[in-house]
Amino acid sequence: MQIQENPALKAEARNLSFFYGNTQALKGINMPIHDKKVTALIGPSGCGKSTYLRSFNRMHDLYPGNRYEGEIRFFPDNTNLLSPEVDPIEVRMRIGMVFQKPNPFPKTIYENVAYGLRVRGERNKRTLDDKVEHALRGAAIWDEVKDRLQDLAPNLSGGQQQRLCIARALATDPELLLFDEPTSALDPIATGAIEELVHELKKRVTILIVTHNMQQAARVSDYTAYMYLGEMIEFGKTDEIFLKPNDKRTEDYITGRMG
């Protein structure tokens, strides 16, 4: 299997297992992430979608007792993201994340977006201004906030906060963006805005998105993976997964007989 030479791949999980202490939450997952495509993760609550997603940016390293097995290969440089020799901070510098609940910092809108740049040592005001604007435009929120960049971010609406968090993640030009149910706390209109954004973003960045919403997965993703009880049951092109799933469990879930 010489997949790492496949230019179409951004990352690949290889026999990935994960343990919260003694509880195994992921069981030998193998899965490719295609470059500049949207990959959706679906599956019933508690099946390990968030756990899987958070392995990509080593979020689990923040808490004691967590353990990975296997690899996540990251291309083009073929780095194993989970290797103990790879600094999790380096990983997070390359991979952005947007959380389920919008989590803007209690700072100004500007500072929220500039934060990732400041962390990277950027001090030049012009550069910061430019990149902040670029990120806010990229997250389709610039027009709404351009006159109030110095307002506190938590005063924005939930949908605006989530797009601000996307801008925060975009500002540092990540190669891969992780979304953990980014619209589950939002109304249909804000959800629509985010979905459109995801569609727009995949021109520039690879996206891995967890969603509970089948229609959403069908609308935004190119590939879909169905997880169940910590295992990857089925992976494939979204149309194929939704039209003719191979596995009975996938079919049951998609047609609403389960989960």
Partner 1 sequence: MNSMTTEQIRALIARGKMKDTIFQALGIICLAIGLLVIFLLVGDMLIRGLERLNLDFFFQYASRRAAQSGILSAWVGSLLVMLVTAVAAVPLGVAAGIYLEEYARRNWVTDIIEINITNLAAVPSIVYGLLALGIFVYAFGFGQSILSAGLTLALLILPIVIVATREAIRAIPAMIREGSMAVGATRWQTCRYHIIPYSMPGILTGVIIGLARAIGETAPIITIGALTFIAFLPPVPFTATGVDGATAGLFDWVMSPFTVMPIQIFNWTSRPDPAFEANAAAAGFVLMGMVLSMNGLAIWLRYRMRKNIKW
Ligand X SMILES: Nc1ncnc2c1ncn2[C@@H]1O[C@H](COP(=O)(O)OP(=O)(O)OP(=O)(O)O)[C@@H](O)[C@H]1O
Cα 201 to Cα 140, 174, 225, 252: the distances in Å are 10, 11, 20, 31
Token digits of residue 184: 């589950």
| Residue 48 within binding range of ligand X, rule CB under 6 A | yes
167 near ligand X, rule: CB under 6 A = no
Q: How far is the CB of 108 from partner 1 (least distance, A)?
A: 10
Bridge partners (DSSP) of residue 11 are: 33, 74
Told to check if 142 binds ligand X by CB under 6 A, we report no
To ligand X, the closest distance from the beta carbon of 160 in angstroms equals 23
Q: Which lies closer to ligand X via its Cβ, residue 60 or residue 131?
A: 60
Q: According to CB under 6 A, which residues from 7 to 26 bind ligand X?
A: 20, 23, 25
Is 47 a residue that touches ligand X (CB under 6 A)?
Answer: yes
Please tell me the distance from the alpha carbon of residue 22 to that of residue 170, in angstroms, as a whole number: 35
191 touches ligand X by CB under 6 A: no
Q: Binders of ligand X: how many residues, by CB under 6 A?
A: 12
* Rounded Cα gap, residues 238 and 243, in angstroms: 8
What is the smallest separation between the CB atom of 154 and partner 1, expressed in angstroms?
Answer: 5
Cβ proximity to ligand X, 60 vs 73, nearer residue? 60
What is the distance between the alpha carbons of residues 195 and 202, in angstroms, rounded to a whole number? 11
In the complex, what is the shortest distance from the CB of residue 13 to Mg ion, in angstroms, rounded to a whole number? 17
Q: Which phi and psi angles does 239 have, rounded to 5°?
A: -60, -40
Taking the C-alpha atoms of residue 10 and residue 101, their distance in angstroms, rounded to an integer, is: 26
- Taking the C-alpha atoms of residue 52 and residue 54, their distance in angstroms, rounded to an integer, is 6
Contact pattern for ligand X over residues 212 through 241, marking x by CB under 6 A: x-----------------------------
Neighbouring residues of 240: CB distance < 8 A, sequence distance ≥ 6: none
The item of partner 1, Mg ion, ligand X, none sharing an interface with residue 45, based on CB under 5 to 8 Å by kind, is ligand X
* Contact residues for ligand X, defined by CB under 6 A: 20, 23, 25, 43, 45-51, 212
